[in-house]
Structure 1
Amino acid sequence: MAHGEHLHPATVAVTFGRPPRVQGGPVNPPLVLSSTYVSQGVPGPELLYTRSGTETWAPFEEALGRLEGAVHPAVVFGSGMAAVAAALSLVPDGGVLVVPRHAYQVSLGYADDLAKKHGVEVRRVDIADTDQVVAALEPAGSSRRPAAKRGDSWGEGGADVALLESPTNPMLEVADLPALLAAARERGVRTVVDNTFATPLGQNPLALGADVVLHSVTKYLAGHSDVVLGACVTNDPSLDAELRAYRTLHGSIAGPFEVWLALRGLRTLHLRVERAQANAAVLATRLAEHPAVAEVRHPSLPSDPGHARAARQMRGFGAIIGMRPVGGTAAADAVVAALRLWVPATSLGGVESSLERRRRFTTESPTVPEDLLRMSVGVEDVEDLWADLDQALRSVR
Structure 2
Amino acid sequence: MTNPAAAHPDQLSPDTVVVAAGRPAREHDAPVNPPLVLSSTYVGTGQVVDGDRAYGRYSNPTWDPLEDALAQLEGATLPALIFSSGLAAASAALSLVPVGGVLVMPIHSYQGALVMAQELAAKGLFTLRTVDIANNDEVIAALTGAGEKAADMLWLESPTNPMLEVADIHVLCRAAQAVGAVVVTDNTFSTPLVQKPLELGADVVLHSVTKYLAGHSDVILGALATSNPELRATLLHHRSIHGAIAGPFEAWLALRGLRTLALRVERSQASALVLANRLDTHDGVTKVLFPGLPSDPGHARAKAQMSGFGSILCIEVAGGAEAANAVVEALCVWTPATSLGGVESLIERRRRHANEPDTVPENLLRLSVGIENVEDLWNDLEQAFALAAPGASTVAPDTEASETPAVSPE
Question: What is the TM-score with the length of structure 2 in the denominator?
Answer: 0.92
1:106, CA displacement in angstroms? 1.2
Residue 163 of structure 1: aligned partner: 155
From 212, 234, 246, the counterpart of 2:226: 234
Equivalents in 2 of 1:318, 1:47: separation in Å?
38
Residue 102 of structure 1: aligned partner: 108
The residue identity in structure 2 corresponding to 1:36 is: T
Alignment check: 8 A CA contact 1:353 1:379 kept: yes
The residue identity in structure 1 corresponding to 2:251 is: V
Residue 362 of structure 1: aligned partner: 354
The total of aligned residue pairs comes to 383
From 330, 343, 346, the counterpart of 1:351: 343
1:59, CA displacement in angstroms? 0.0
Residue 35 of structure 1: aligned partner: 40
From 173, 184, 187, the counterpart of 1:181: 173
Question: What is the TM-score with the length of structure 1 in the denominator?
Answer: 0.95
Where structure 1 has 5 or more consecutive residues not aligned to the other structure, the ranges are 142-155
Residue 97 of structure 2: aligned partner: 91
Equivalents in 2 of 1:117, 1:263: separation in Å?
38
1:48, CA displacement in angstroms? 1.7
Alignment check: 8 A CA contact 1:325 1:393 kept: no
The residue identity in structure 1 corresponding to 2:80 is: A
Asked if 1:266 is matched to 2:258, the reply is yes
1:186, CA displacement in angstroms? 1.5
Equivalents in 2 of 1:46, 1:125: separation in Å?
43
SS at match of 1:257: helix
Residue 225 of structure 1: aligned partner: 217
Residue 14 of structure 1: aligned partner: 19
SS at match of 1:199: coil
Alignment check: 8 A CA contact 1:84 1:107 kept: yes
1:6, CA displacement in angstroms? 1.4
Q: Deviations over 1:362-392 (max 9, x none)?
A: 1111110011101000000000000000100
From 324, 328, 331, the counterpart of 1:332: 324
1:4, CA displacement in angstroms? 1.9
Equivalents in 2 of 1:136, 1:158: separation in Å?
8
After the TM superposition, which of the residue ranges 205-214 and 113-122 deviates more from structure 2?
113-122
Residue 282 of structure 2: aligned partner: 290
Q: Deviations over 1:230-255 (max 9, x none)?
A: 00000100001111111000001000
From 161, 164, 169, the counterpart of 1:172: 164
Identical-residue share of aligned pairs (%): 61
From 54, 61, 69, the counterpart of 1:63: 69
Equivalents in 1 of 2:347, 2:127: separation in Å?
33
Equivalents in 1 of 2:160, 2:370: separation in Å?
19
Cα RMSD over matched residues? Answer: 0.9
Alignment check: 8 A CA contact 1:38 1:48 kept: yes
1:49, CA displacement in angstroms? 1.1
Equivalents in 2 of 1:118, 1:88: separation in Å?
14
